[in-house]
Every structure is written in C-alpha cells, then in structure tokens.
C-alpha cells in the first residue's frame, strides 16, 4: 500500500534499522522505498503493487526477481528465515533488485516497515 | 516496427524474459511510462499463461504511431469456457504451479485491466490467441 504523508527510506537504511540479511542485488541498495506490498501471489503483485514499494513474500524462486524488475519495486524481503538459491541471488544482482531476508513472519515485518514509513 | 518472440511451455526459469525485453524496447522508444507499465503487466500474464498451460507460443509486437498491438498465439489445450476463465479466482493451474504463487486466477483480469482492447479466442485441443492493444493517447 501507499502511505499518505509517509516518508521515503532507502533500502540500505531499512536493512540497517531492521537487521535484514542482504542476499543479493546490493547495487540497488540506494533505491527509495515509498510503500510496501505483502503477498505470495505473483499476479496479485503484478496487478496491485506500485513502483518503489518493498515486497514482502515467502516466494523464493527466480520469477520473483522478474516480477520485481518489471514492476520496478524497490526491494524484496523474504520472511521466516527463507534463503534463496544461488541462481536467484545472481538474478537479483543482474536486475539490481536488493534481495533481503528476515527471520520474522510477514505480519511482524510488515508492521515494522509500516511504522517506519509512516514517519 | 515489428518484433517476434518464441515462448517454451513449462520453462518457468525464462518466464517474464520477453516482457522484460519488450519493456526495454518501449523505454528506448520513449513510450509513455503509464502505457509501458500497463502493457508489461498484461504481456507478463500472457507470457506466464503460455509457460503454465501451453506447449509453445509466439508473441508478435507491432508498434505504430498510435498504438502497441501484441498478438500471443499458442499451441496448447485451449480454453473451453473463456467467460469462466475471466472470473477472478478461477484457475486450472496445477498444484505445482500454484505453489510458486502462480495460478491464483487473477491473470486474465490483470490483462483486462491493463489493456485498452483485449481479444481472446480459443479452440480446445488446438490453442489460444490473445490480442492486447494499448493506445499511446486515448
């Protein structure tokens, strides 16, 4: 969702604040985050996410990078301590989409990011 | 201008690569950003449908001064009931495809919402033809 009156945070700042693991796509860490979308359905993200949002998901396969790149999302955060395969990390590097991770569940990490972005 | 791309059914690793190439081309041609965004969503869904449901497909992109016209023709099982397939939540995707987060029954509605004109014709046992038209200025 877009947060009205919210602030913009760089991916690197969000990763620092929340202690997120950086798996790949480090060259995009200066991307600006202006909102977020939490979903595990790719067509839901294609249809409803907006550019410069951070995407929170359990999906770890390569198509996630394609969706994020096509939608010009700021970053992807994998939840529950899930780790991407090497080919997915390489794709995130190619597409310059920061691929991050947290041990937390979607609910917790989404809430924390919402609080940061609402300023 | 005219571009053609071939899509292999079942090859999920490459799903989205044609949409990505088309997006780059449209950006280079300075097409309006909103038109690019909408076209890319509609085309991506069509591309995924070939990968998830068909054996192979061909995507033809035609550009002129007023519009982008994309034809997606596949060889595959076809759609028995297009009206039903258009319903949000209806899907015939396999459990494996659904586990990847595809097959949520939202693809065709995304295509409809992101195209100015959408034509779908299908022959069961033969294949499906989709045409997406987006105008640069409505």
Contacts of A51 in chain B (CB under 8 A): 37
**What domains can be seen in chain A, in order of their start residue?**
9-117 (3.40.1390.20)
Contacts of A70 in chain B (CB under 8 A): 16, 19-20, 23, 40-41, 44
Share of residues in chain A with pLDDT > 90 (%): 94
pLDDT (tens digit per residue) in B96-106: 999 999 999 99
Residue in B16, B36, B6 with CA at minimum distance from that of residue A67: B16
pLDDT < 50 regions, chain A: none
Q: Which of A57, A70, A87 sits opposite B16 (nearest CB)?
A: A70
pLDDT (0 to 100) of residue A30: 98
Q: What angle, rounded to 10 degrees, do the helices at B17-28 and B33-53 form?
A: 160
pLDDT tops 90 at residue B119: yes
**Across residues B71-79, what is the average pLDDT?**
98
pLDDT (tens digit per residue) in B46-55: 999 999 999 9
> Cβ B17–A66 below 8 Å, yes or no?
yes
pLDDT tops 70 at residue B43: yes
Tokens 């992807």 label which residue? A76
- Which residue in chain A has the smallest CA separation from B36? A70
The residue count for chain B: 138
Please report which confidence band the pLDDT of residue B138 belongs to, taking 50, 70 and 90 as the band edges: low
SS3 B24: helix
Share of residues in chain B with pLDDT > 90 (%): 98
**Across residues B33-44, what is the average pLDDT?**
97
Phi and psi at residue A49, to the nearest 5°: -75, 160
pLDDT (0 to 100) of residue A1: 66
Tokens 């998830």 label which residue? B52
In angstroms, the Cα distances linking B101 to A41, B1, B50, B98 are 4, 34, 16, 5
Q: Which of B16, B17, B104 sits opposite A43 (nearest CB)?
A: B104
**How many angstroms away from the CA of B64 is the closest CA of chain A?**
23
Tokens 């790149």 label which residue? A69
ipTM of this predicted complex?
0.93
CB pairs under 8 A between A and B: 62
Instruction: Give chain A's contact residues with B (Cβ, < 8 Å).
Output: 40-44, 46-47, 51, 57, 59, 61-64, 66-67, 69-71, 87
Please say whether the beta carbons of B80 and B49 come within 8 A. Answer: no
pLDDT (0 to 100) of residue A2: 65
Measured CA angle at A92 (ends A35, A68), to 5 deg:
40
pLDDT (0 to 100) of residue B137: 80
Given CATH 2.160.10.10, say whether it is the number of domain B2-135. no
Dihedral (Cα; A11, A15, A17, A19), 10-degree rounding = 170
Which H, E and C letters describe A18-39, residue by residue?
Answer: HCCEEEECHHHCCCEECEEEEC
Please say whether the beta carbons of A2 and A25 come within 8 A. Answer: no
Tokens linked to B127: 């294949």
**How many angstroms away from the CA of B95 is the closest CA of chain A?**
13
**Across residues B20-25, what is the average pLDDT?**
96
């Amino acid at each position: 969702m877009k947060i009205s009156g919210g602030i913009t945070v760089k991916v690197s700042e969000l990763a620092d604040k929340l202690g997120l693991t950086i798996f790949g796509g480090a060259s995009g860490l200066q991307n600006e985050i202006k909102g977020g979308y939490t979903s595990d359905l790719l067509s839901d993200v294609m249809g409803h996410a907006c550019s410069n949002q951070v995407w929170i998901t359990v999906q770890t396969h390569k198509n996630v990078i394609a969706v994020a790149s096509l939608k010009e999302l700021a970053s992807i955060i994998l939840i529950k301590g899930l780790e991407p395969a090497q080919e997915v990390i390489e794709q995130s590097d190619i597409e310059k989409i920061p691929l991050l991770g947290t041990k937390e569940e979607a609910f917790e990490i989404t809430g924390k990011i919402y609080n940061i972005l609402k300023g | 201008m005219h571009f053609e791309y071939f899509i292999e059914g079942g090859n999920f690793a490459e799903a989205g690569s044609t949409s990505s190439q088309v997006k780059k081309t449209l950006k280079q041609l300075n097409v309006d950003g909103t038109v690019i965004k909408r076209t890319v969503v509609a085309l991506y869904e069509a591309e995924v449908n070939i990968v998830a449901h068909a054996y192979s497909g061909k995507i033809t992109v035609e550009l002129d001064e007023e519009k982008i016209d994309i034809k997606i023709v596949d060889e595959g099982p076809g759609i028995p009931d297009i009206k039903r397939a258009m319903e949000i939540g209806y899907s015939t995707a396999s459990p494996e495809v659904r586990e990847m987060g595809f097959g949520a029954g939202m693809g065709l509605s995304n295509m409809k919402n992101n195209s100015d004109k959408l034509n779908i014709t299908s022959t069961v046992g033969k294949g499906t033809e989709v045409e997406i038209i987006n105008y640069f200025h409505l």
